[in-house]
Each structure stands twice: as C-alpha cells, then as structure tokens.
C-alpha cells in the first residue's frame, strides 16, 4: 500500500509541475484519472480518460535503477503519454503494422517534439531517444517527421537485429494465422529485456554507424506500453479534440503555448468544409458538360431563341491510391467507396484507378476486382510514375484525385493542365504540395 501511495504522489507532483510550467500539458493531465495496474509494465493512456501506471515501475524500479521517478521524470513521462492522445496514435496505426514497433516510432516522435517544446527529458527518455535519434526523427529543414514514416524507417533497421527479426517474423506469422499465439500486443517472450550482461555488439548485427534507433529488445519502456485501446469511438475522439483546443487556447492566453501546438490549434479551431463536398463540387464543375451551339437546347423552340445545348465531358476521372502501407486499410477502403460514389453521381462517365507505391502496379477502370488488389508494400512513395502513366494515356483526364500521405516526391512535379486534388490523412497536415488543392480526409 505504501508503494502505491508513493507512486500516485509522484504522478500528482508531475501534474502540478506541468500546470506550473507547461499549462497546455498540465490542463490536459487533469483530464486523466490515475489507475494503478499490474498489467501495464510502465505507463499507458486510453481515450476513456485513464492514465494507467505500474506502481512498482514508478516508485521502485524506474529506469531499471531501483529508484523512484523524480519530479522531472514524472513531468516528462505524463506529457509523453498525453502525446499519444494529442497525436491520436491509437487510431493512426497502419494496417498490418507491428504494435510494438509502431509504439516505439510514436515514442521517438513524441519525445523529440517534447524536447523541441522545451521539456527536460526524463532519464528513461534520455537513454531511449538520444540526440542522434532526435536527428533521425527530423527532416533536413528541422521539421519533425510523422510517426508513419518513422515506423517504416525503424522496421527496415530492426530487420538487421537478430532479436527483433525473430519478433517481426513471429508477429507476422501470428497475424497470418500461422501461430498459436493470440497475444499480438505483449511481445516480451520474444524480446529478452532481462539480459543485462548482453552487450549491443552481441545482440545487434548492425554496424554502429548504421544504427539510428533503440531496438525493441532494448526498449526501456517495454514494448507494450504507450496508448492502448485502438477502437476509440467518434464521441471519445471529439471529446479529446475539444479538450486539446480548450487547453491550447488557455495556454496561448498565458503566453506558454508549445510551438507544435500553434499549427495544431489553428487546424482544430478553423471551420472546415467537408472533404466530400470539396470533391463533389470540383467533380461537378468538370463533368457537368460544355455548352455548344452545334446542339440546340430544348428551350429554344418555346422561347424562339437559339440557345446552346450541353454535351457531357467524356474525359475520365483518375483516382491514384498510395498503397505504400502508411495509410490504414480501413481509411483507404472508406475513401475509395465514397469517392467513386461521388464521381458517378457527378457525371464522370469513366473512372480509372491507379494503384502505386514507388511505381505504378495497376492501371484500369474501377471495378470490385481491382479494389481487391489494394495491398500494403511498406515501401516508399513516388508520384513521378503516376504522372508519367497519365501522360501515356490516350484520353486526357478531366481531373485527378490522389490519396496519399504526401511523404512522396510531389514537389518535383510540374503542374498539369487538368485539376488535381491531393487528399491526405490527418498525419500529413504540414506537408506542402506543388499545385492543385489539398484536402484532409479525417481518420474517423
């Protein structure tokens, strides 16, 4: 009982520290109920307003040192868990992704963001997310990458680590139904966290110069911590959106709003037009037809005036789908079904589907069979081949709709003669486009 009280007291002190020095995180931390749980190896949050914590980890075994958290540690770790809710990591996990690697990628992006916002790292974070790893989490211009891109980078790197390679293979087999293991979240049997005498040189078959991240088998926070419960309801998501907006506005009034939250507040606060309405409006403008005097309008006879008739536009609508794996399958399928319905109602006589990652691997008319070919390659993304394939087509397109995470080479492209709409998930909000219109497709 003494340890539980001590752990709770440490976390309460952390919340007070956030309220005093970082009001944006402090106000959000008050929304969380502290729930002790032995099922959680460190700390975790969910959209039901719970902050789960392992009292032994907080009060007696933090950082594997047999010492309790300090106030600085507590401040950073609570802000870290809030980061999972702020960036909605539980609903952004890519389809087929390995949860422990996804959580590690999210952890690195969150900690990099917190350090950039002025928070002092906890001792756990300092070991996990070193200055070198923070550099790996940023682009050359200093902007922080999104978690989806970091996940792909870590996955490639971890395949070189024997311990992590075994884990990846085991989880893939379990997801494919080839393993008797039903627990896809707790991978402690595959990752040996207790080998204190095993040096990185023995466990990692990677040259030090190539190693940019902490591997799963070296994860101090343990690989099943982080945000839990991926099936947040729309009501829960909206509730936390309102919490975040309110906390950001209050912190802004106090002159202590983190830099990353300024753009976040602007996006959440502004009235947004439904993405489907934008596509519907553009499609109607393109496919409503053109007027010509070669065809008489039916009203000409009754009005005794020659009026132009309307020919429908025969140009096809092209929908290019980024299947690199960084967009969840559920979101991708929802986008496909809704967009094709909009285009048909708007008068598009032909809808051509392009499936691609770095290269285009399918071009054809829309049908149920080609939608089944949607697959995640977990590779990179390029739109150069997409636009090259469009140039080779005999028919000039009426419009192009690209659904992508925008982690591509679109800035190298030149503006075409037809309208382009770039539809993207919430994670790509700060990425630039060279031309056309940028439209966000919410995850929920």
Quote the pLDDT of residue 22: 94
**Total-model pTM:** 0.59
- Check whether 47 has a pLDDT greater than 90: no
Q: What are phi and psi of 440, to 5 degrees?
A: -85, 135
Contacts of 15 (CB under 8 A, 6+ apart): 26, 29, 30, 78
CATH 3.40.50 in the chain, residue ranges: 275-440
Kind of pairing, strands 290-296 and 308-311?
antiparallel
- For residue 61, count CB atoms less than 10 angstroms from its CB and return exposed for 0-12, middle for 13-18, buried for 19 or more: middle
Closest CA to 99 of 196, 170, 49, 161: 170
What is the spatial distance between Cα 276 and Cα 226, in angstroms, rounded to a whole number?
33
Q: In whole angstroms, what separates CA 327 from the centre of its chain?
A: 8
* Structure confidence by residue, pLDDT tens digits, 418-433: 999 999 887 666 678 8
Taking the chain, what is the end-to-end CA distance rounded to the nearest angstrom?
A: 41
- Between these two residues, 203 and 41, which has the higher pLDDT value? 41
* Structure confidence by residue, pLDDT tens digits, 132-154: 999 999 998 888 998 888 888 88
* Local structure of 439: helix, strand or coil: strand
Handedness of CA 64, 69, 72, 77 (dihedral sign): positive
DSSP 8-state symbol, 144: B
* Structure confidence by residue, pLDDT tens digits, 343-383: 888 778 789 999 888 888 888 887 655 556 566 565 678 89
CATH class of the domain defined by 275-440:
alpha beta
pLDDT tier at 312 (50, 70, 90 boundaries)? low
DSSP 8-state symbol, 362: E
Mean per-residue pLDDT, 41-57? 89
Identify whether the C-beta of residue 81 lies closer than 8 Å to the C-beta of residue 45: yes
- Check whether 389 has a pLDDT greater than 90: yes
Identify whether the C-beta of residue 119 lies closer than 8 Å to the C-beta of residue 77: no
What is the spatial distance between Cα 421 and Cα 94, in angstroms, rounded to a whole number?
23
Quote the pLDDT of residue 26: 94
How large is the angle between the packed helices 99-116 and 147-158, nearest 10 degrees?
Answer: 120
String of DSSP letters for 66-131: TBPPPHHHHHHHHHHHHHHHHTTHHHHPPTT--HHHHHHHHHHHHHHHHHHTTPPPPHHHHHHS-H
Cα–Cα–Cα angle for 328, 246, 93, rounded to 5 degrees: 15
String of DSSP letters for 389-435: HHHH-SSPPSEEEEE--S-SSGGG----SS-EEEEE-GGGTT---SS
Quote the pLDDT of residue 177: 63
Quote the pLDDT of residue 175: 66
Return mean pLDDT, the chain. Answer: 78
What is the spatial distance between Cα 383 and Cα 380, in angstroms, rounded to a whole number?
11
Q: CB 357: neighbour CB atoms within 10 A? A: 22
* Structure confidence by residue, pLDDT tens digits, 251-287: 888 888 888 887 666 665 555 567 888 888 888 888 8
């Amino acid at each position: 009982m003494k340890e539980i009280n001590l752990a709770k007291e440490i976390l309460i002190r952390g919340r007070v520290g956030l309220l005093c020095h970082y009001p944006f995180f402090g106000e959000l931390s008050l929304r969380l109920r502290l729930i002790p749980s032995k099922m959680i190896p460190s700390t975790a949050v969910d959209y039901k307003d719970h902050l789960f914590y392992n009292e032994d980890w907080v009060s007696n075994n933090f950082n594997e040192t047999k010492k309790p958290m300090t106030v600085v540690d507590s401040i950073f770790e609570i802000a870290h868990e809030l980061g999972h809710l702020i960036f909605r990591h539980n609903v952004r996990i890519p389809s087929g992704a390995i949860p422990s690697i996804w959580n590690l990628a999210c952890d690195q992006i969150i900690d990099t963001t917190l350090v950039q916002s002025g928070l002092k790292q906890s001792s756990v974070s300092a070991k996990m997310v070193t200055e070198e790893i923070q550099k790996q989490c940023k682009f050359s211009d200093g902007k922080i990458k999104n978690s989806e891109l970091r996940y792909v980078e870590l996955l490639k790197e971890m395949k070189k680590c024997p311990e992590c390679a075994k884990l990846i293979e085991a989880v893939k087999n379990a997801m494919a139904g080839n393993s008797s293991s039903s627990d896809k979240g707790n991978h402690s049997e595959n990752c040996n966290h207790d080998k204190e005498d095993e040096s990185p040189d023995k466990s990692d078959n990677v040259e030090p110069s190539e190693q940019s991240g902490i591997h799963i088998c070296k994860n101090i926070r343990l690989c099943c911590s982080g945000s839990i419960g991926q099936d947040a309801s729309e009501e829960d998501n909206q509730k936390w959106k309102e919490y975040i907006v309110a906390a950001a506005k209050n912190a802004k009034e106090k002159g202590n709003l983190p830099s990353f939250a300024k753009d976040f507040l602007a996006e959440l606060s502004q009235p947004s037009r439904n993405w489907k309405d934008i596509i519907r409006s553009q499609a109607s403008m393109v496919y409503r037809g053109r007027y010509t005097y070669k065809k008489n309008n039916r009203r000409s006879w009754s009005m005794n005036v020659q009026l132009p008739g309307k020919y429908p536009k025969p140009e096809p609508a092209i929908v290019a789908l980024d299947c690199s794996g960084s967009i969840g399958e559920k979101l991708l399928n929802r986008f496909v079904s809704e967009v094709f319905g909009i285009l048909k109602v708007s008068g598009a006589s032909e809808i051509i589907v392009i499936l691609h990652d770095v290269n285009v691997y399918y071009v054809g008319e829309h049908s149920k069979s080609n939608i089944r070919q949607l697959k995640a390659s977990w590779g990179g993304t390029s739109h150069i081949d997409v636009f090259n394939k469009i140039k080779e087509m005999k028919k000039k397109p009426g419009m192009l709709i690209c659904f992508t995470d925008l982690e591509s080479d679109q800035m190298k492209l030149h503006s075409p003669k037809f309208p382009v709409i770039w539809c993207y998930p919430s994670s790509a909000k700060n990425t630039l486009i060279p031309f056309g219109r940028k439209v966000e497709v919410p995850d929920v």
